[in-house]
Amino acid sequence: MTRRLTRTLGKSLALRSLVVIVALAVGLSLAALPRLERYFLTQAAAREEATLRLATESLRGALSRTEVLPGLLAERPILARILRDPDNQGLVPYANEQLRQTSLTLDVADIWVMDTEGLTIAASNYRRETSFVGRRFDYRPYFTQALSEGRGRFHALGTTSGQRGYYFAAPILDGTEIVGVVAVKILLDAFETTWRDSPNTIVVTDPANVIFLSDRVDWHFSSLGPLPEAALDTIADTRQYPLDQLRLLQTEREALVPGHDLLRVRGADGVEEFVTNTGLIAAAGWRVSVLTPTRPALIQARQTLALVVLLLLFAGLVAVLFLQRRARLVERLEQQRQHREQLERRVAERTADLNAANTQLVQEVEERKVTERRLRQTQSELVQAGKLAALGQMSAALSHEFNQPLAAVKAYAENAATFLDRDRTEDARKNIGLISQMADRMASISKHLRNFARRPQDKIGPIPLLAVLDDALELMAPKLKAAGAELHYTRPEAELEVMGGRVRLQQVLVNLLSNALDAMERLDAPQIEITVLTEGSRRRVEVRDRGPGLTEETLAHLFDPFFTTKSPGKGLGLGLSISYNIVRDFGGTLAARNHPEGGAVFSVDLAASDARTSSEAVAAQ
């Protein structure tokens, strides 16, 4: 949940940064475009500075070269002579031809000579249809200026030739008297042809702002501003331009940087926009402008801007991606840290649990040890109690057993005394022998009782199994006899050594035998079978009776302390429980089962003593 939230936040953050970057890029481009355009336009204009210089210089050169010609030509004596004698049919043609030759040599359009009235006397173009000879040019300023100021210059559309030209004129003197004027005209079309090769437009405007020269033919005689009435009058008077061709060009001018303007020209085909480079030809009163179309510069500006914006966007995108990756990395590291912490916390918790469990276990073990110690103590006490109980049970039978032989001993003794009185020595000896037998028997019984009542030494060691069994049977003999029980026991020849305690094992066997007798209480012919078996390192004694056997309930609780089915006073329910623990102490097992042919079978399984050394046996305590 937190992770998804963080990721969504991260995503929206990235999206927001992207939007901001795009907005920035757009804003930047909008803000930067005019400046960039201005820069590229200025650059474009600067590049055309050379074009302007070339145009002005070549024009200026052409004009200044021609400017001196009329003065030089005026000094030719023939000119003054024909002016003095205009009707001289010998001189005038000669002068005409001379002028033609000169015009060809100097590469000028026309050279002609006028009298003081402006009438052409001789001209280089005398051969052509458009010959100036006989024509009057007194309305042209170059004529009047030449007369009044000593030199004249003018530009106009030729009224005769219909060609645009620049006129220079100088007075012809005869002595100190002005007798006429010589004029030279040059054509400027060649410049326009040259200009046409460049992508720029070059315009030459006069002081009245009328375009006189331009590689754009359609702009000829167009004015860049409205013409004042006076200017129009002058044009009409001097017939400088054909009035019907004069028209106003729709333009707008805007300052770009000092020296360069933006010029928009509205024409039939739409608006054309240029950046201007302007120079002056002061002598002619001309303004030369190189008009560079703004389109390439604007395109270049936009392309540059687009490139910059793209680069910015790319850089922004890279930055966003980088930041996003970084954020993701940080997030992942954070997750790993949290995970690690969680893991460590869990480990700590588990360790704490384990420690607690361990402490509890140690405590339990301790408690168990205490309980076990207590149990052993109780058990030991119970063994003792059980023995005493058994002793109590047996004491009745024993007192009966002792009373009988004692009565017999008494009778035999009395008889022996009587036989001695009667000197029947043999009979007396026989009776004394019987008394001795009885005493032996009673001594034997008492010995066992002493053994049984004494608290056993807790030692475990090799003991003779068959001898212990003999003792037990001997101890039980009176009871067996009293019950009329039949004993089936095939005693093995060789003694079998087992690990255990002699008195305690005897106690176990006595208990098993008395239980067997108790189980067959109601039988007329009780039978007990004793089998001694050898299985590897184990030795087993099995006691089988012919009683009712063991019920499931009895089997389940057989070895529990105080479990008894016998009537109160008769059984304590301790015998088997004590026996079980005794056998277990010996490293053996006490088990009970039902015989398939009826009756219960109790088996005592013990370790053969040759399997263990006595020292181990001591240690096993």
DSSP letter at 495 equals -
Residue closer to ligand ADP, measured from CB, 323 or 487:
487
Residue closer to ligand ADP, measured from CB, 59 or 600:
600
Residue given tokens 């056993």 in the structure block: 456
Residue closer to ligand ADP, measured from CB, 43 or 564:
564
**Contacts of 363 by beta carbon, 8 Å cutoff, 6+ apart:** none
Helix/strand number for the chain, H first, E second = 15, 20
Residue closer to ligand ADP, measured from CB, 287 or 546:
546
- In the complex, the smallest distance separating the C-beta of residue 465 from ligand ADP, rounded to whole angstroms, is 21
Helix/strand/coil for 57: helix
Q: List, as one string, the DSSP characters of 292-361.
A: EESHHHHHHHHHHHHHHHHHHHHHHHHHHHHHHHHHHHHHHHHHHHHHHHHHHHHHHHHHHHHHHHHHHH
- In the complex, the smallest distance separating the C-beta of residue 572 from ligand ADP, rounded to whole angstroms, is 5
- In the complex, the smallest distance separating the C-beta of residue 511 from ligand ADP, rounded to whole angstroms, is 6
Residue closer to ligand ADP, measured from CB, 209 or 380:
380
- In the complex, the smallest distance separating the C-beta of residue 523 from ligand ADP, rounded to whole angstroms, is 12
Taking the C-alpha atoms of residue 415 and residue 53, their distance in angstroms, rounded to an integer, is 185
> Dihedrals φ, ψ of 534, to 5°?
-120, 120
- In the complex, the smallest distance separating the C-beta of residue 389 from ligand ADP, rounded to whole angstroms, is 8
* Closest C-alpha to 125, from 183, 202, 55: 183
How buried is 232 (Cβ within 10 angstroms: 0-12 exposed, 13-18 middle, 19+ buried)? middle
> Dihedrals φ, ψ of 461, to 5°?
-165, -175
Residue closer to ligand ADP, measured from CB, 431 or 515:
515
Helix/strand/coil for 241: coil
Residue closer to ligand ADP, measured from CB, 131 or 554:
554
- In the complex, the smallest distance separating the C-beta of residue 518 from ligand ADP, rounded to whole angstroms, is 6
Residue closer to ligand ADP, measured from CB, 600 or 607:
600
- In the complex, the smallest distance separating the C-beta of residue 468 from ligand ADP, rounded to whole angstroms, is 19
- In the complex, the smallest distance separating the C-beta of residue 550 from ligand ADP, rounded to whole angstroms, is 5
Residue closer to ligand ADP, measured from CB, 215 or 545:
545
Point out which residues pair with 539 in neighbouring strands: 534, 606
Residue closer to ligand ADP, measured from CB, 434 or 528:
528
First to last CA, the chain: 65
C-beta separation of 479 from 517 below 8 A: yes
- In the complex, the smallest distance separating the C-beta of residue 471 from ligand ADP, rounded to whole angstroms, is 19
- In the complex, the smallest distance separating the C-beta of residue 576 from ligand ADP, rounded to whole angstroms, is 3
How buried is 313 (Cβ within 10 angstroms: 0-12 exposed, 13-18 middle, 19+ buried)? middle
C-beta separation of 474 from 491 below 8 A: no
Task: Kindly state the helix (H) or strand (E) to which residue 582 belongs, with its residue range.
Answer: helix 575-585
- Residues found near ligand ADP in the complex (CB under 6 A): 511, 515-516, 519, 545, 547, 550, 554, 558, 563-566, 571-577, 600
Polymer length of the chain = 621
Residue closer to ligand ADP, measured from CB, 89 or 567:
567
Residue closer to ligand ADP, measured from CB, 433 or 484:
484
Residue closer to ligand ADP, measured from CB, 398 or 617:
398
- In the complex, the smallest distance separating the C-beta of residue 434 from ligand ADP, rounded to whole angstroms, is 36
Q: What sign results for the dihedral spanned by CA atoms 468, 472, 475, 480?
A: negative
- In the complex, the smallest distance separating the C-beta of residue 349 from ligand ADP, rounded to whole angstroms, is 51
Quick one: tokens of 200?
Answer: 């720029």
* Closest C-alpha to 490, from 532, 545, 544: 532
- In the complex, the smallest distance separating the C-beta of residue 370 from ligand ADP, rounded to whole angstroms, is 27
* Closest C-alpha to 569, from 425, 441, 434, 393: 393
Residue closer to ligand ADP, measured from CB, 316 or 573:
573
Helix/strand/coil for 270: strand
Residue closer to ligand ADP, measured from CB, 171 or 599:
599
- In the complex, the smallest distance separating the C-beta of residue 463 from ligand ADP, rounded to whole angstroms, is 22
Residue closer to ligand ADP, measured from CB, 8 or 551:
551
Q: List, as one string, the DSSP characters of 514-577.
A: HHHHHHTTT-SS-EEEEEEEEETTEEEEEEE--S----HHHHHHTTSTT---SPTTT--S-HHH
- Count of alpha carbons within 13 Å of 375, Cβ hemisphere only? 10
Point out which residues pair with 173 in neighbouring strands: 178
- In the complex, the smallest distance separating the C-beta of residue 405 from ligand ADP, rounded to whole angstroms, is 28
C-beta separation of 129 from 140 below 8 A: no
Q: Are strands 250-257 and 260-267 parallel, antiparallel or unpaired?
A: antiparallel
- In the complex, the smallest distance separating the C-beta of residue 538 from ligand ADP, rounded to whole angstroms, is 22
Helix/strand/coil for 456: coil
